[in-house]
Amino acid sequence: MRTRHACHRLGATLAVASALTLAAGLDGTALAQNTSEPTSLQLPAQPLAEALTELGAATGVQVSFDPSLLAGERAPALEGRYTLDQALQRLLADTQLTYERSGDGSVTIRAASNGSDAVTVAPITVSGWRPSTTQGYRAEVISSATKTEELLVDVPASVSVVTADLIEDQNATTVAEALRNVPGVGAGPNPANVSVQEEVTIRGFESALVRVNGVQRRSTGPLSLANVASVEVLKGPFSVLYGDLSPGGFVNIQTKRPQREAGAEVSLGGSQVMSGDGTSARGTVDLTGPLNEDGTVLYRLIASSEGGSSFIDTVENERQFIAPSLSFLGLDDRLRVDVDLRYLRNDETFLFGVPARNGEPDDRIDYDTFLGADDSEKVTEDYDAELRAELELSDRTRIDGAITYHRNEHTSRALRPFGGGQEVASDDTVERAYSVRSSRTTDQQIEVNIIHELSVRDQEWRFLAGGDVRSTDFEPAGPGSLNLNPFDTTSVFDPDNDVTFPADDDPALSQFFVDQDNDSWGVYGQAEVWWRDRLKLLAGARYTDLDYSYRSDAFGSFDENPTSVDPRAGALLKLTPETSLYASYSTSFEQSFSFDPDNVEPLEAEQYEFGVKREFAGGMGLLTATVFDLTQENLVTTDPETGLNRQIGEAQTQGFELEVRGTVTERLQVQAGYTFLDNEISKDNDGNEGNRLPNVAEHEASLWASYRLPTRGEGSWYLGGGVFYESERFTGAANTVEMPGYVTTDLSLRYELPLGERQLSVRFGVKNVFDEEYYAGGFGEGISFRGEPRTAFATLTARF
Give me the residues paired with residue 441 across strands.
Answer: 408, 474
Give the amino acid at 311: F
pLDDT of residue 406: 95
| pLDDT (average), residues 37-51 | 74
Q: How many CB atoms lie within 10 A of CB 713?
A: 6
In the DSSP assignment, the letter for residue 291 is: S
Is the pLDDT at 211 greater than 60? The verdict is yes
The answer to which of 209-213, 504-508, 639-643, 672-676 has the lowest mean pLDDT is: 639-643
- HEC-encoded secondary structure of 691-723: CCCCCCCCEEEEEEEEEECCCCCCCEEEEEEEE
Whole-angstrom distance, CA of residue 615 vs CA of residue 631: 30
786, 315 contact by CB (below 8 A): no
Whole-angstrom distance, CA of residue 731 vs CA of residue 720: 33
Pairing of strands 39-43, 205-207: unpaired
The larger pLDDT score, comparing residue 81 to residue 345, is at: 345
What band does 66 get if pLDDT is binned at 50, 70 and 90?
confident
Whole-angstrom distance, CA of residue 552 vs CA of residue 534: 57
- What are the structural domain ranges in the chain? 34-119, 253-799
Whole-angstrom distance, CA of residue 614 vs CA of residue 598: 50
What band does 28 get if pLDDT is binned at 50, 70 and 90?
very low
For residue 129, is it left (φ>0), alpha (ψ between -120 and 50) or beta? alpha
Vertex 181: Cα angle to 610 and 241 (nearest 5): 50
Percentage of residues in the chain with pLDDT exceeding 70?
A: 88
What band does 599 get if pLDDT is binned at 50, 70 and 90?
low
The answer to which of 49-63, 294-308, 723-737 has the lowest mean pLDDT is: 49-63
| pLDDT (average), residues 581-596 | 87
pLDDT in tens, 284-297: 999 999 999 999 99
From 248, 252, 251, 242, select the one nearest 564 (Cα to Cα): 242
621 contact partners, CB below 8 Å, separation of at least 6? 138, 615, 660, 661, 662, 663, 664, 670
pLDDT in tens, 740-763: 999 999 999 999 998 877 889 999
The answer to which of 78-87, 171-180, 362-371, 699-708 has the lowest mean pLDDT is: 78-87
pLDDT of residue 561: 86
The larger pLDDT score, comparing residue 275 to residue 628, is at: 628
552, 558 contact by CB (below 8 A): no
Question: Is CATH 2.40.170.20 the classification given to domain 253-799?
Answer: yes
From 19, 91, 7, 9, select the one nearest 49 (Cα to Cα): 91
Is the pLDDT at 6 greater than 60? The verdict is no
Is the pLDDT at 26 greater than 60? The verdict is no
Q: How many CB atoms lie within 10 A of CB 778?
A: 29
Q: Topology of 34-119 in CATH?
A: Phage tail protein beta-alpha-beta fold (3.55.50)
Is the pLDDT at 129 greater than 60? The verdict is no
Q: How many CB atoms lie within 10 A of CB 649?
A: 22
Whole-angstrom distance, CA of residue 224 vs CA of residue 210: 12
pLDDT in tens, 386-419: 999 999 999 899 999 999 999 999 999 999 886 5
What band does 624 get if pLDDT is binned at 50, 70 and 90?
very high
From 404, 481, 468, select the one nearest 439 (Cα to Cα): 481
CA separation, residue 759 to residues 111, 389, 681, 751, 752 (Å): 22, 34, 53, 10, 7
The larger pLDDT score, comparing residue 83 to residue 498, is at: 498
| pLDDT (average), residues 674-681 | 96
pLDDT in tens, 251-264: 999 999 999 889 99
Is the pLDDT at 8 greater than 50? The verdict is no
pLDDT in tens, 267-278: 999 999 998 889
pLDDT in tens, 698-733: 999 999 999 999 887 788 999 999 999 999 999 988
Predicted TM-score (pTM) of this structure: 0.83
Q: How many CB atoms lie within 10 A of CB 70?
A: 19
Vertex 562: Cα angle to 541 and 679 (nearest 5): 75
Exposed e or buried b per residue across 486-503, where buried means at least 16 C-beta atoms within 10 angstroms of its C-beta: ebbebebeebebebebee
Q: Which of 57-71, 88-102, 597-611 has the highest mean pLDDT?
A: 597-611
Q: Which of 218-222, 591-595, 727-731 has the highest mean pLDDT?
A: 727-731
pLDDT in tens, 424-444: 999 999 999 999 999 999 999
Average pLDDT over all residues of the chain: 86
219, 223, 229, 230: CA torsion to nearest 10: 70
Give me the residues paired with residue 151 across strands.
Answer: 141
